[in-house]
Amino acid sequence: MFVNTCYSRNQTTTGTTIGLGLSLIVASLWQIFPYLGLSGWLIVYALAIVSSWVARKLLFNKTQIYALGADKWAIALSILELFSITIHSFLIYAGDRSPSICYPTATLITLAPIIYRSCQQPSNWAFYSIGWCLELLVTEVLRFWQPSIISITIANIALGLKTQFFGEWWHRRYQILPPSFNIISLISGVFSNILRINNFCEWTGFSSLSIALISISIGRRKEECKAIVYFGIIGVFISAYQLLFYQLSVVKGGAIGDVLIAMSALVTSIMYVSHILHPWLISYLRLTPEELQNIAHLYWI
């Protein structure tokens, strides 16, 4: 195939040649290490991804057609790698698999070339892949210390907020932000709320607050996304009530009158703070005074 590619220089032949070369390496390792196991092979595939993108960099100025073939094989192997580790992550939290250091190692090895590749040619898909890797890395690592849904929920809240803070910094510095930053942070926030849907605990309100703050941060950047700001403000109110209801649920034997007094105090406190911060809220949320007043009317209703 290498000889054929010298005469027929197209992406099909070069891709086939590179694929056969990778197959030769895999078959040789299979003979040498017949009992390597799935976790070991994932590390092998991660190293193959590293090699493919390094080869792309070395070949790009010499023979671009081979560089493109190596790039496509690296992308295909990355997708296969991430899907495999994702399935394992679901299985270990379902109790069907035991944790292994090989899986976070393979994820970390895969993450490095993806970041390297995205620095050369940034794209939304590259940022999605980085977010996917970080999610898997956190999930696999937490399995060794705190194997619970609550710990993953908290980790997703942190990932979503950190992604959004990084997006804010990026937007201020370069005056442009790839849509993937917003989508990744929203997915992290929504995923954290889905995970804790059957749990009502001290973290429930903070989980709702996280996605509310992410929504507000996204919606305030563009005029056409202003509706997301409204959903974010509603989320802030909901999270405040969730925090209150949890505290009330902890106190046993509370009368209904005490509950109503606490709710009334929360209502008036929120509106009084909003009234004090009225000028700052208009500036930060990028709403008109009439729009903010309409939100206040709806809240009272």
Report whether 177 contacts 163 (CB < 8 A).
no
Range of the domain at 69: 1-147
Give the per-residue pLDDT at 97. 63
Q: φ and ψ at 122, to 5 degrees?
A: -65, 140
pLDDT per residue over 8-18, tens digit each? 777 888 888 88
Report whether 223 contacts 288 (CB < 8 A).
no
* Burial category of 51 from C-beta neighbours within 10 Å (exposed 0-12, middle 13-18, buried 19 and up): middle
> Is 180 part of any domain?
no
> Is 286 part of any domain?
no
Report whether 89 contacts 68 (CB < 8 A).
no
Give the per-residue pLDDT at 206. 81
- Tally of domains in the chain: 1
**Measured distance CA(200)–CA(189) in Å, rounded:** 17
pLDDT in tens, the chain (301 residues): 888 877 877 788 888 888 898 899 889 988 888 787 888 888 988 998 888 888 787 766 667 777 888 888 889 999 999 999 888 888 877 766 666 788 889 999 999 989 888 887 778 888 889 889 998 888 888 877 766 677 777 888 888 888 888 877 877 777 777 788 788 888 888 887 777 777 777 777 788 888 888 888 888 877 777 888 888 888 888 888 888 887 777 766 557 777 788 888 888 888 888 888 888 888 888 888 888 888 888 877 8
Residue ranges of alpha helices (H) inside the chain are: 2-7, 11-32, 37-59, 64-93, 102-120, 124-145, 149-174, 179-195, 204-219, 226-250, 256-276, 278-285, 289-300
> Is 124 part of any domain?
yes
Report whether 44 contacts 36 (CB < 8 A).
yes
> Is 69 part of any domain?
yes
> Is 140 part of any domain?
yes
State which amino acid sits at residue 223. Answer: E
Measured at the CA of 190, the angle between CA 185 and CA 196, to 5 degrees, comes to 130
> Is 71 part of any domain?
yes
